[in-house]
Amino acid sequence: MKPQRNRPSARAVGYAFLVGGFGMFGLVSLVFAMGAEAVDLQVYRAGSEALLDGRELYDVPVWEDFAFTYPPFAALFFAPLTLVSAGTATVLVVLANTALMVFIVAQSCRSLGTMETRLFISVVIAVTGASFALESVHSTFIDGQINLLLVALVLADLTGRTDHPARGFGVGLAVALKLTPLIFVAYLIVTRKYRQAAVASACAGGTVIVSFLLTPTAAADYWIRGMFADLGRIFVDPASRHNQSLRGLLLKNGVPEDTALWLWLVIAAAVGVAALTLAAHTARRGEHVLAISLCGLCAAAVSPWSWGHHWVWLVPFGVFLTWVAAQPRRRTLWLPAAVLLASTLPVLLALADPMEDGAVPVLTDGPLAFVLANLYVLTFLTILVTTAVDLRGSRVRSVRGAERPRETGKPVRFRSAVNRRE
Give the mean pLDDT of 61-74: 91
Q: 420 falls in which pLDDT band (50, 70, 90)?
A: very low
For position 396, what pLDDT does the model report? 61
DSSP state of 9: P
For position 121, what pLDDT does the model report? 83
Per-residue pLDDT at 418 exceeds 50: no
What percentage of residues in the chain have a pLDDT greater than 90? 61
Give the mean pLDDT of 64-72: 91
For position 386, what pLDDT does the model report? 97
Give the mean pLDDT of 167-180: 95
Per-residue pLDDT at 78 exceeds 70: yes
Per-residue pLDDT at 410 exceeds 50: no
What percentage of residues in the chain have a pLDDT greater than 70? 83
The pLDDT tens digits for 83-139 are 999 989 998 998 899 999 999 999 999 998 867 777 788 888 888 888 988 999 999
For residue 362, the surrounding DSSP H or E stretch is none
336-342 contacts at long range (C-beta below 8 A, 24 or more positions apart): 336/382, 336/386, 337/379, 337/382, 337/383, 337/386, 340/375, 340/378, 340/379, 340/382, 341/134, 341/314, 341/317, 341/379
Question: 147-159 and 135-143 helices cross at what angle (nearest 10)?
Answer: 120
**356 versus 330: which is more confidently predicted?**
330
Residues 6+ apart with CB under 8 A from 145: 40, 41, 139, 309
Give the mean pLDDT of 179-206: 96
Start-end of H helices in 166-286 = 169-177, 183-190, 194-214, 216-219, 246-252, 257-284
Cβ atoms of 158 and 189 within 8 Å: the answer is no
The pLDDT tens digits for 266-291 are 999 999 999 999 999 999 999 999 99
For position 327, what pLDDT does the model report? 86
Per-residue pLDDT at 23 exceeds 60: no
- Distance between CA atoms of 33 and 406, rounded to whole angstroms? 41
Give the mean pLDDT of 175-186: 96
Task: Report the SS3 class of residue 66.
Answer: strand
Of 392, 419, 391, nearest to 405 by C-alpha is 419
Cβ atoms of 142 and 134 within 8 Å: the answer is no
**94 versus 25: which is more confidently predicted?**
94
For position 19, what pLDDT does the model report? 59
For position 359, what pLDDT does the model report? 76
For position 166, what pLDDT does the model report? 84
**229 versus 146: which is more confidently predicted?**
146
Cβ atoms of 150 and 177 within 8 Å: the answer is yes
How far is Cα of residue 62 from the mean position of the Cα atoms in its chain? 26
DSSP state of 220: I
pLDDT, mean over the chain: 85
Per-residue pLDDT at 303 exceeds 80: yes
**358 versus 210: which is more confidently predicted?**
210
For position 129, what pLDDT does the model report? 87
Give the mean pLDDT of 190-203: 95
pTM above 0.85, yes or no: yes
The pLDDT tens digits for 348-380 are 999 988 877 677 888 888 899 999 999 999 999
Per-residue pLDDT at 7 exceeds 60: no
